[in-house]
Homo-oligomer: A and B are copies of this chain.
Amino acid sequence: MQNICTEIHQGDCKEILPGLATNSVDLIVTSPPYADQRKNTYGGVHPDKYVEWFLPVTAELLRVLKPTGTFILNIKERVVSGERHTYVIDLILRMREQGWFWTEEFIWHKKNCYPGKWPNRFRDSWERLLQFNKNKKFKMYQEEVMVPMGDWAQGRLKNLSKTDQLRDESKVGSGFGKNVSNWLSREKAYPTNVLHMATECNNKSHSAVFPEALPEWFAKLFTAEGDWVLDPFMGSGTTLCVAQRLKRHSIGIELVEEYCQVARSKIAEFVI
């Protein structure tokens, strides 16, 4: 059995990242501290200066990522004086100038988002999952994340007996099958770019940024076993736990020592 490496670096990723090898990582999944959020731990970057603060990091990530790799950035602009701030879309434009391709924007629909009500605003129940690449061609394993088919197949396929289904499939092989049999024999469909995932609000000891299902989905989609996953803002280590469970090597960087310890204990638990 292959040995899986799980590295944790404590420190500022701007200082740690230069130590990583060029073109060495297959997937970067991270949720950086949002602008002006978590002031007590990260010092809180002002929204107007967020892009300038973050661009040196993305420059290093561009270097570290393999040409066939993918960078998934979980981010959402906050409301500043009644308006959505533009630092996220500014960041997209600036990252393209750095050489990144803005391949896609997934939507993370948070089903059980925090309750709350404002006079001019509803609850914010979605976040951006920006996909960036170094090239237009990159590795993608779409079959790994297929989902069951919708009502059409479920409701109508159900009435066919199993022998009927088998018979249809055998007909395909012998050339007697109907075109429909191609459809009926299928149980799964490819997903879309909207991900429905509930937030995990059970752990209050550490701020769980995103649920395990999120890095898991992208790890399955963009990496194979033995590939390398990087999270430059590791937090409590959700990404690394998932990577290890899926037999991917992983590197986590985290400024706060307390989070590093939480991550180490979670990794250790799993190793046992």
Contacts and interface: CB of A to CB of B under 8 A. Distances in A.
A69 to B, nearest CB: 13
A255 interface: no
Most buried by B among A83, A122, A192: A122
A102 B124 contact: no
A176 B196 contact: yes
A125 B126 CA distance: 14
Interface in A162-217: 162-164, 166-168, 170, 172-178, 180, 182-183, 188, 190-194, 196-198, 211-213, 216-217
Interface of chain A, helix or strand or loop or mixed?
mixed
How many residues of A sit at the interface, in one of the four size bands?
35 or more
Contacts of A176: 147, 196-197, 213, 217
B193 A166 contact: no
A151 interface: yes
Nearest to A246: B174
A204 to B, nearest CB: 18
Interface of A: 81-84, 86, 89-90, 92-93, 96, 101-105, 107, 109, 111-113, 115, 117, 119-126, 136-138, 140, 142, 145-148, 150-151, 154-155, 162-164, 166-168, 170, 172-178, 180, 182-183, 188, 190-194, 196-198, 211-213, 216-217
Given A90-B93, A124-B192, 12 more contacts: A83-B102, A83-B103, A89-B93, A104-B121, A107-B109, A117-B142, A120-B138, A123-B193, A126-B194, A147-B176, A150-B163, A173-B197
